[in-house]
Amino acid sequence: MRKLAQNNSIEEDELLRFLNNQHKIKNVIFFNDLKDYIILQPDWLVKCFRCLVNDHQKRTDAISFNACQTLKTTGELSETLIDRLFQKEPTLQFGNRKRHLLRVMEKFDIIVQPLFRDTDNDICQKSHLYYLPCMIKKSLQFNDIKKMFIKENVKVTITPWLVFEFKFLPLAFFNHILFYYVRNYTVCKAETGYPALYLGKAVFYVDRENLSNFIICFSQNAISLQVWNWRDVDEDINKQMLSELCNQIEHIRGTLGQNLSYNIKAKCSLGDFSKRDGRISLTEITNTKHEVYFCEEHQQKHSNEDIEKTWLKHDVRAFNFISNVWYGNISDRYNTKHTGFVDGIKAGDDIMADKGSRLITGK
Ligand SMILES: [Zn+2]
């Protein structure tokens, strides 16, 4: 392609712009950081994806059967299994382009190489194997997972649930969120030595200190997150968890062009994340004059305090305008006029301001 461009006096940056544009409109598959290959027929790639995710039952030989069972239990996709699955379409020769195809599949959030921490020697390393989280069929109840990580008689602080409740949430959307966490956090290993990746649930270390974990769960039209702390609660962690999940949802909504609407809610720490009953929106807590709310799941009142201090105070949506930082010698009048704040006000809006701020009129 480069030679072709040179022969026609096309500069490399122009060629890259062309390829990126063709990728955008789905004519070819091209990534700037994987320049060695350009996939001219997206259909060919779709068939390759299909080899990995479809009809594993038909593999009858013992090696493939065992590897398929491991895939369904842990999500682990062995090299042997990849080779065998690619052979399902021998004429398409996926095996010859295996390394590139695997990297492309990483780009499309189909496979991932997670970070694991070995509990024996506390060494954290990237798995040499690929994982296919969307193939994990192993399902475990939340309480069983919790029991594996939270031992009785050990002091632990469990945050209220943070719940993103959607009008409609496809599992594929959750999988993109899950990929983000698998790429950026270390996956915990369960007692069995397997990674704590289950159907619609995963447990991660918050940081290297190993004293906070978080679990992220998918349920009907909701993504829920809870943090388990074995040390003093670090508010920055809660803040990070909330803003990170908000940002990722927004990012994925943008890249997929899916305008999924959602409401941010919370639920008491002992509640069932998958039940709608008992979820309370952060806006409701903000607007209430009471110090308690009624939890429909437990049919009792809970204090707002836990939700307020864990999630609500970090809910950035409470601010819809944050100006750039200005020097102290800038007047309030100048600041208000030049930050863009005035542009966001509509006629009839009520504004509370410090005394002497008579500058809004005559916008
Ligand atoms: Zn409750």
CA of 269 to the centre of ligand 1 (A): 7
Higher pLDDT, 339 or 62: 62
| In the predicted structure, residue 320 carries a pLDDT above the cut 50 | no
pLDDT score recorded for residue 166:
94
CA of 293 to the centre of ligand 1 (A): 9
pTM of the model: 0.76
CA of 134 to the centre of ligand 1 (A): 31
Q: What is the pLDDT of residues 243-288, one digit of tens each?
A: 999 999 999 888 887 778 899 999 999 999 999 999 998 888 888 8
Note every long-range contact of 51-60, with CB atoms under 8 Å and residues 24 or more positions apart, other chains counting: 51/85, 51/86, 51/88, 51/89, 51/94, 52/77, 52/82, 52/85, 52/105, 52/110, 52/111, 52/132, 53/110, 53/132, 53/134, 53/135, 56/85, 59/84, 59/85
pLDDT score recorded for residue 319:
43
Q: What percent of the chain has pLDDT over 90?
A: 28
| In the predicted structure, residue 232 carries a pLDDT above the cut 60 | yes
Q: What is the pLDDT of residues 197-225, one digit of tens each?
A: 999 999 999 987 778 999 999 999 999 99
Residues lining ion ligand 1 (Cβ < 5 A) are: 268, 271, 295, 298
pLDDT score recorded for residue 339:
59
CA of 268 to the centre of ligand 1 (A): 5
pLDDT score recorded for residue 340:
59
CA of 145 to the centre of ligand 1 (A): 20
Confidence band of 135 (pLDDT split at 50, 70, 90): confident
CA of 65 to the centre of ligand 1 (A): 44
CA of 294 to the centre of ligand 1 (A): 8
Q: What is the pLDDT of residues 56-107, one digit of tens each?
A: 555 557 667 888 888 888 888 888 888 888 888 888 888 888 888 888 888 8
CA of 318 to the centre of ligand 1 (A): 24
